[in-house]
Amino acid sequence: MKEHLFKVGQAVQPSAAAHHLPRAIFTVLRQLPSTAGGMPLYCIKSQAEMIERVVEQREIQAAPR
């Protein structure tokens, strides 16, 4: 099982594996339990949207500062 790489409040952006996510900067709202396969999950949200999204760790990367 992998550990969570991103912290609550951290800015992230979609990785190349996340074709379904808009190109935006998101904030990590919560770390969620891992999938059955051991992939950490996160709840993220962009300021431009009203919705929260659940993504796998491989779908996001740290945003540039």
Contact 52, 43 (CB under 8 A): yes
pLDDT in tens, 31-42: 999 999 999 999
Predicted model pTM: 0.92
Residue 55's nearest CA partner among 12, 10, 9 is 12
Contact 60, 18 (CB under 8 A): yes
pLDDT at 3 over 80: yes
Q: Which two tokens stand for residue 36?
A: 């059955």
pLDDT in tens, 7-64: 999 999 999 988 899 999 999 999 999 999 999 999 999 999 999 999 999 999 999 9
